[in-house]
Structure 1
């Protein structure tokens, strides 16, 4: 009987080569899937994003949409630190005030979708409102999505522009949804955060991009995070300038002095409720948390509108003097 002799060195080299090819191909695939700017068909029909009929009706047919369409927004432009032209929309309050809210939208959204909240701030609270298109979204330049990390510096620069426009006595609130919530939390820990930022509302945030993608890879593709997520993160560092692990709201809120009000749906399966709980537990400033029963991702305002507004208003009254 003939004995088959195995060349272990060649076999090891072959396996290593195949492994590296899989990692490289997989990294480009997931970068294109999630990070590169463009439509994301894989999210269409995603059960984790299913919302109640009343929520969908509010999103599609709410009177806020007509309100947004008739407002005379002032279009503002900002050059980001890395050379992108960013766009945002400013609307002064009906009566002069030193209070302004910066409303930051979610992944694949755009600035004027935050008119859902802007109508409340403008009409009921009497705030000036500002809604920026995040890089890679709406009218802003950018060929990738930053999931809050590069956007945190954009928000700080927008804030400085607003303070210069409205005066040094301006008081600023941040109100972000999903990726927008992570964005303002990531901004909150920066030493250069303007002193005028007095309060943060974080609706449906995640702790870090790495933790979010770890959860999503397992839930959507039944894949472990390591090593594919790490190689995708390395590619993202090269192509977009940030890594998934450094993009951490959790690390930032451990350094913040700005009070934070966390809001999350208790039935959120896209960004699990536990993520808001971990953020709240680790925030170094004063915090409150509002968990909304039966609400899926970003659905809290639709299902608990009056209570939502009441709690947000009370929170802001404590810190916006």
Structure 2
């Protein structure tokens, strides 16, 4: 074979290799584009302020156990408090109802994902009945508060420290403060407890059905709601969250927060919770460093322990509070 023939015989092979590489690159780009598109979609579902079809925001029915408590609090004339949340200079709004008799005891209540301060009205009534001033904020990106991105408790923990300090500013240095939260609000409560600058006036915490971490909850929901594996989609959504919302899912950990907390905490969870699986409360409880109590409510579903038996729920809460609030 001549040199000329050898040179030309190799060209089809080179063209074939080049075509394979081009095809491979196109496939990779399509996969990456598809994953980024899916990641953007799920980020929208998970974090961008909008109606969430999987969250029940229907008005409470008259036949529900908490209806009277819900309506009573809604009908009270409440004060409107505001703070500024960072980043973004967001105007955040809360309702404040003083106790029937003057007191230095105040509860700060955190609502759940897709909720708002109004959804926590029944809890407001319960604590008011227990003699507390009641402050219920709208989280960033919820209710009347500004903001585009849902913080899952991680961004909100800094906001709640501001609310707590505002209580002290308005009600005095002798304030005795309880923080209470349900679902995402439970996680928010735990995340607040791990901060180094929680004022000494915070005497205790109650968390009801909070998750172990945002990563764990999103991983669980990816499989539970959509039937898809968490990898590689959840890391992509987490990376988008880091860029757009300023936090990633791994750092937003309730478990790590309660390890740093030395103050009393009551953990509540329904035994039939399939939205934030019941197993998570055992992890949170085990990790907690301070005085702690665990109450798993037999038969209760997600965020339903209070309505499962309102009287028993209030008795458990009151017994816990009587140990730390005088």
Q: What TM-score, normalized to structure 1?
A: 0.92
2:147 maps to 1:142: yes
- Any unmatched runs of 5+ in structure 2? 1-11
Q: 2:194 aligns with which of 189, 192, 217?
A: 189
SS at match of 1:144: coil
Q: Does 1:293 pair with 2:305?
A: no
- Where does residue 33 of structure 2 map in the other structure? 21
Pair 55,151 (structure 1): closer, same or farther in 2 beyond 3 Å: farther
Q: Select the residue among 40, 49, 65 that pairs with 2:52.
A: 40
Structure 1 stretches (4+) deviating beyond 4 angstroms? Answer: 2-8, 53-56
Alignment size in residue pairs: 310
Counterpart-to-counterpart distance in 1, 2:32 and 2:162: 40
- Residue 319 of structure 1 aligns to a residue whose secondary structure is coil
Give the gaps of 5 or more residues in structure 1.
Answer: none
Contact map agreement 2:208 2:303 (CA 8 A) in 1: yes
Distance 2:104 2:149 in 1: 34
- SS at 1:66 equivalent: helix
Q: Which residue of 1 aligns with 2:241?
A: 236
Cα distance change, pair 272–192 in 1 and its aligned pair in 2 (3 A): same
- Aligned 8 A contact 1:55 1:299 in 2: no
Query: Quick one: which of 208, 216, 219 aligns to 1:214?
Result: 219
Instruction: Give 1:21-170 correspondences, 5 Å limit.
Output: 21-43=33-55, 57-58=64-65, 62-82=67-87, 83-123=89-129, 125-170=130-175
Report if aligned partners of 2:69, 2:126 keep a CA contact under 8 Å in 1.
Answer: no
C-alpha distance in structure 2 between counterparts of 1:312 and 1:65, whole Å: 18
Counterpart in the other structure of 2:182: 177
Q: Judging changes above 3 Å, is the alpha-carbon distance between structure 1 residues 312 and 190 closer, same or farther for their aligned structure 2 residues?
A: same
SS at match of 1:131: strand
Partner of 2:280: 275
* 1:297 Cα deviation after fit: 0.3
The CA distance in 2 between the partners of 1:276 and 1:74, in whole Å, is 34
TM-score by length of 2: 0.90
RMSD, aligned α-carbons: 2.1
Highest RCO, 1 vs 2 (Cα 8 Å, sep ≥ 6): 1
CA distance in 2, matches of 1:55, 1:64: 11
SS in structure 2 of the partner of residue 41 of structure 1: coil
> How far did residue 253 of structure 1 move?
0.6
TM-fit CA distance, 1:74: 0.4
